Chain A
């Protein structure tokens, strides 16, 4: 694996990890909002 490929992998992996965290947060936020309705 070239260093460039390694960098690209890390960047793609981080983007996906951020998406995962955002979906967890979104579910909590929606859950809280619906709880009060």
Chain B
């Protein structure tokens, strides 16, 4: 990041709470328009969804501990699989990043709040509605949808009413994301403090700006796709119904035109968080700030051009396979630029290893493994062999858990002093990191071998030869799940005001406007914009 120094922080910054009273009680939250309150609600909501989605994952792992059917019938198992994916993606990871955006973007660009404060409130309150639709769909006749989070036709056309709940849930959560994205774009473009040029913005703002454009471009495609599913199911159209002249493969094209950029929607803000943490604990400026911005934009553009690498087994022409294979491999170049820049930032830095830095380094290490397996499955002949196996499950969990979730944890520890005014318990934070890091690998590393040996995903039962690796993965999953309760305890402890009082800038090497306001950040900040040199 280019270094940013506020020329003049007005005296009232952080001390202007008397000007606008802080609302109290339930009204403060229900009618919240303050970006920090809404950010907090997003983060709490997403953690609750992480626990719900995680519980579903543990139910899956319980069933898979041994071959044969012990606890759940395959139909229910597939419902768990589907809802685990939908809840984690639309309920946990995406809202968590929007929570970070709400909290940090106005603070980092010197804005008093988000551009559309009331729409911000509406975006948030749509989330519990969507999540409720997902959750209650288990209790409708036939149960929740069991079509997988991708909701492929024709299976999704044949599901019971649980499918309609999922479609409405996706609509509502998608609408929330679109409104959040519009808010973020407008805030960043129009509300930066004087002197805060785009190329002076912290990288977290840049990654979110590009992510928000991705959301604007692809969320409507998903909305249209699931609406077409709905009309096929209930209104006699045949977009994806072969019996009526439609084409199920068309659904896959439309879905993955959304789905692949969606992967980057869940990882680009993580890159932004890591790009804040690594320089802070290396006590150096970020290496190659401009190239980081261009690499982020390049990843976003390329993400539109590679969707059919998810569909190599649909029988596409070899020339198309070659195109999508090479285009996918191209993404490794800007991604490699990022990895290189983080390592170069650490090179000869004055490194310390507080919990946020541990998560950032852990992120770089395990995300790179996920990136490499991504390159492997990009190779069409290999993908055809490992398609729909546990190899793919391992790959995307290395990207989304070790990628997105590790960065979220790192960011939470990094900014927790700013949010709560208290330092978290460093010893417990480090325990959380190591426990999470080890258990994550215990859970997901064996899945590579399961996939290579031919274990298909979304199966409740399996041949006895897969038992050992499944048992290791199940033990790891429970260990991983329990480790997250430690995180909850650390955060609650800081929120309860137990722990050292945090100064305005608790990290020696941290840079940016957010550290110029007191900790905890006052209810209103930057009512008079700072001037950036």
Chain A residues engaging chain B, CB cutoff 8 angstroms: 1, 5, 8-9, 12-13, 16-17, 19-21, 23-24, 27-28, 31-32, 34-36
Is B191 touching A36 in the complex (CB atoms < 8 A)? no
Query: Which A residues touch B225, using CB under 8 A?
Result: 27
B220 interface contact, C-beta 8 A: yes
B388 interface contact, C-beta 8 A: no
B488 interface contact, C-beta 8 A: no
Complex Cα gap A19–B217 (Å):
8
B223 interface contact, C-beta 8 A: yes
Chain B residues engaging chain A, CB cutoff 8 angstroms: 112-113, 115-116, 178, 181-183, 185-186, 189-191, 216-217, 219-221, 223-225, 227-228, 238-239, 245-247, 250, 254
Complex Cα gap A31–B253 (Å):
10
Closest 5 CB pairs of A and B: A27-B224, A23-B220, A24-B220, A9-B115, A16-B182
Complex Cα gap A20–B174 (Å):
11
Complex Cα gap A2–B130 (Å):
35
Known: A27-B225, A31-B250. A12 touches B185 (CB 8 A): yes
For A9, A12, A31, A34, the residue with the greatest tally of chain B CB atoms inside 10 Å of its CB is A31
Query: Which B residues touch A36, using CB under 8 A?
Result: 245
Known: A9-B116, A13-B116, A19-B216. A34 touches B186 (CB 8 A): no
Is A16 touching B224 in the complex (CB atoms < 8 A)? no
Known: A13-B116, A16-B182, A35-B245. A5 touches B190 (CB 8 A): yes
Complex Cα gap A17–B247 (Å):
30
Is B238 touching A35 in the complex (CB atoms < 8 A)? yes
Query: Which A residues touch B217, using CB under 8 A?
Result: 23
Query: Which B residues touch A31, using CB under 8 A?
Result: 224, 228, 239, 250, 254
Nearest CB on A from B504, distance (A): 25
Is A35 touching B250 in the complex (CB atoms < 8 A)? yes
Complex Cα gap A2–B16 (Å):
18
